[in-house]
Each structure stands twice: as C-alpha cells, then as structure tokens.
C-alpha cells in the first residue's frame, strides 16, 4: 500500500491510480484523505483522463512548465476532471454540504488582478491547476479526493456523473467557440477530431452555424463526427483538401485548430477564407511558424483560446437542460482498468475520451 504524505488520520483505505514516471501507472490502495480547512472531500463517482496526463505518462512535458517537485518524487494520483458527491467538509466550509452532487472547477486564480476583475480568470498570472504532489494535493483518479470547496460546481440530478466528469474539457471547447464570436449562418471547420474537436462539434451545433467540416486523419473519427452533426468530413492527407472543402461547404469563415502542429496549421491557413479566423486552441506543439505577410495580405485573424472563464457553469446548465449531447464521446471503464487504458493510448488507441468509474461509482450514475 502506498501511503501519501499528509495529515490523513483515518485508517480506511481506498483504491487509486498512481503515476510514477513515464509509462508507469498502477492501481493500489492508499489512505482516504481528510479535508483541510476550506476543502471538501469528494466521493468520486467518475473521473476523466486529460490529454496532459497522457503526455505526462508518455514522458512529455510542456517546455514552459517544468515538472513540479512533487511529481518528480515518488508516486502521485493524477486526475483533475472529476465529479461526485460531497462526503465530508473541512473547517469553515459553508457553500456545500454532505450529499451535494458536484463537479470540480480545477483552476485556481487570485480574483484581485485586473484580468480577474474583468472576468478573464484564465489570464490571471497566478492561475494554476494544482498538480498532484503540490503540498498535500492529490488528484481525482481515486475513490475519494479533497479540493477547495469554492471550486465546486453544483450538478443537478439530470446531469450524470460521467457527464459531470467531462464538463471541464467541454468548457475548454465552449470557450473556444465563444472566442470565435457570432457564428450564426457561417461555415466552420474543426481541425482534429480528438476530445477537444468533438466537444467543439457539440458546442458549435448550438451556435447556429451553417456547415461544420470535420477534419482528421482517422477515418473512424470522421465517420463518427458525421453521425453526430458534422455536415462534411475530410481526411487532411487528401490532395487539394482545402479546395475540396471550399467546393463542398463554401468559404470557411472560421477554422478551429485543435491540433496545432506545423502540418495542421499550414492546412488551416489554406482552408480559411480571406478575412476569416483561425481559433488556436490545440496544444500539440510549443512552437509553430507562419508567414506574417500571409496574415496581413489576407487579413486572417488568429484568435488564441486557453481554458475557460464561466463556461464550466454554463455547460453544467446546458447539460441539465438537455441541450448538449456528449455521452457518445466517453469510453467508460472501471478505475482498475486504468493501467491498461493508458497502455492502449500509447499508440493513439481507439478512444476519444476516457472516463474511469471508481469501485463505488456504479452506485448511482
């Protein structure tokens, strides 16, 4: 059994996934955590796998973000996309109570800077997603997890826990869709049908767009996109794909670049119409290049998009109202399958979005 550092007093144990270095993830028992003042303990009912966790598992890291000390030492529990039931509250917590259904808003920000006061919490210089190993913090790939109570989003009974575990990545896509501005009656393209692309597909369907072009290199993903609302689908490796897209769907007003590697950006620049926009939301490469004069001559707008502001709350409401269809995006497995699921993803496995269910999680979905 792996005991984590911290003031955990109970002797009861729980199942959790532990990550310890590249290609090393395993399921083991550990002590159930106690909430610190201002925290609530969540009985985790569903927990999603973030693309960043896969990169960490593969040994890849964002060059601007060195590995936190807590991650470099010993095993830690990953996971920041989770939903469940408040099981216990720490000292001073009044905004939630035991029994509340909640999802985790994992981003912390100062609330005092100019960006925060403008509602641009995603641009706060102190913004961070607490990493497993930062202090006593551990992630949600476990039966129980503790988090700051102010970061809990209420879930109505009509929202399943699996949906709740996907609200955070869904909000990333909703923010990107919002950054594009008014899309009513316009033609849009999604470059890359991973989870970001599929969540975007659902968000764009609410925006009143005319055509949605799904672009990927995997035919099964293109087919799935067509089954769920895309009006056109193309393999980006096709010859003259940009011209084929324009012929089929008309001038493309906005391309959502959900991959952002050099090759996909080059294709996106060919696809977008003069005066159109590329919404840059993919994190595939840390650096890409383009011809500045091309943007000027064709007045192409590059619109960066990072995380979200209020969109997690918005998405929780839209799910409660039945206005978003995201269930098909998830591949759901028991938590104990975690090591094999990550191994499956080593070679870009067949999943779009993985959600784990802890041993007690099938009690009420």
In 128-167, the DSSP E strands lie at 144-148, 152-154
Average pLDDT over residues 208-219: 97
Determine whether 8 is exposed, middle or buried from the number of CB atoms within 10 Å of its CB (0-12, 13-18, 19+): middle
Residues 6+ positions from 98 with CB-CB distance below 8 Å: 86, 87, 88, 89
Extract the tokens encoding 301. Answer: 């707008």
* Per-residue confidence (pLDDT) for residue 65, from 0 to 100: 62
Q: Residue 75 pLDDT > 90, yes or no?
A: no
All structural domains of the chain, each given as residue ranges with its CATH number in brackets, are 13-166+326-363 (3.90.180.10), 173-304 (3.40.50.720)
230-273 pLDDT, tens per residue?
999 999 999 999 999 999 999 999 999 999 999 999 999 999 99
DSSP string, 278-317: EEE---S-S-----HHHHHHHTPEEEE--S-SSHHHHHHH
As a whole-number percent, the residues of the chain with pLDDT over 70 amount to: 90
What is the 3 state secondary structure string of 104-162?
Answer: ECCCECCCCCHHHHCCCHHHCCCCECCCCCCCCCCCCCECEEEEEHHHEEECCCCCCHH
Measured between alpha carbons, how far is 130 from 138 in angstroms, rounded to an integer?
9
Extract the tokens encoding 239. Answer: 């010859």
**DSSP conformational letter for 363:** G
131-170 pLDDT, tens per residue?
665 556 789 999 999 999 999 999 999 999 999 999 999 9
Measured between alpha carbons, how far is 363 from 365 in angstroms, rounded to an integer?
7
Task: From 110, 195, 102, select the one nearest 140 (Cα to Cα).
Answer: 102
Question: How far, in whole angstroms, is CA 35 from its chain's centroid?
Answer: 25
96-107 pLDDT, tens per residue?
999 999 999 998
Extract the tokens encoding 338. Answer: 């975690």
278-305 pLDDT, tens per residue?
999 999 999 999 999 999 999 999 999 9
* Per-residue confidence (pLDDT) for residue 7, from 0 to 100: 42
Alpha carbon distances (Å) from 76 to 84, 250, 286, 292: 20, 49, 26, 43
Measured between alpha carbons, how far is 311 from 167 in angstroms, rounded to an integer?
9
Please state, as a whole number, how many other Cβ atoms lie within 10 Å of the Cβ of residue 39.
Answer: 25
């Amino acid at each position: 059994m792996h005991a984590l550092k911290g003031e955990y007093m109970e002797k009861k144990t729980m199942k959790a996934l532990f990550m310890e270095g590249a290609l090393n993830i395993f399921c083991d028992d550990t002590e159930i955590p106690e909430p610190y003042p201002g925290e609530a303990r969540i009985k985790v009912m569903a927990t999603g796998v973030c693309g960043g966790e896969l990169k960490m598992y593969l040994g890849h890291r964002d060059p601007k973000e060195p590995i936190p000390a807590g991650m470099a030492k010993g095993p830690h529990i990953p996971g920041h996309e989770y939903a469940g039931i408040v099981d216990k509250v720490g000292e001073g917590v009044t905004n939630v109570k035991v029994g509340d259904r909640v999802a985790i808003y994992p981003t912390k920000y100062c609330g005092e800077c100019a960006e925060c006061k403008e509602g641009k919490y995603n641009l706060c210089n102190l913004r961070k997603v607490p990493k497993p190993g930062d202090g006593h913090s551990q992630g949600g790939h476990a039966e129980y997890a503790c988090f700051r109570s102010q970061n809990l989003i209420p879930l109505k009974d009509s929202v399943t826990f699996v949906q709740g575990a996907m609200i955070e990545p869904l909000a990333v896509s909703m923010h990107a869709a919002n950054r594009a501005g008014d899309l009513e009656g316009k033609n849009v393209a999604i470059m890359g049908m991973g989870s970001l692309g599929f969540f975007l597909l659902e968000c764009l369907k609410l925006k009143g767009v005319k055509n949605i072009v799904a672009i990927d290199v995997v035919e099964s993903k293109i087919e799935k996109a067509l089954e769920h609302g895309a009006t056109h689908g193309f393999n980006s490796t096709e010859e003259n794909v940009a011209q084929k897209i324009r012929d089929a769907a008309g001038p493309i007003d906005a391309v959502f670049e959900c991959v952002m590697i050099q090759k996909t950006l080059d294709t996106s620049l060919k696809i977008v119409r003069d005066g159109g926009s590329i919404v840059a939301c993919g994190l595939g490469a840390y650096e890409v290049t383009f011809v500045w004069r091309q943007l000027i001559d064709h007045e192409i707008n590059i619109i960066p998009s990072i995380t979200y502001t209020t969109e997690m709350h918005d998405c929780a409401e839209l799910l409660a109202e039945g206005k978003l269809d995201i269930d098909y995006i998830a591949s759901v497995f028991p938590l104990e399958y975690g090591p094999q699921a990550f191994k499956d993803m080593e070679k870009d496995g067949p999943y779009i979005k993985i959600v784990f269910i802890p041993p007690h999680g099938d009690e009420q979905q």
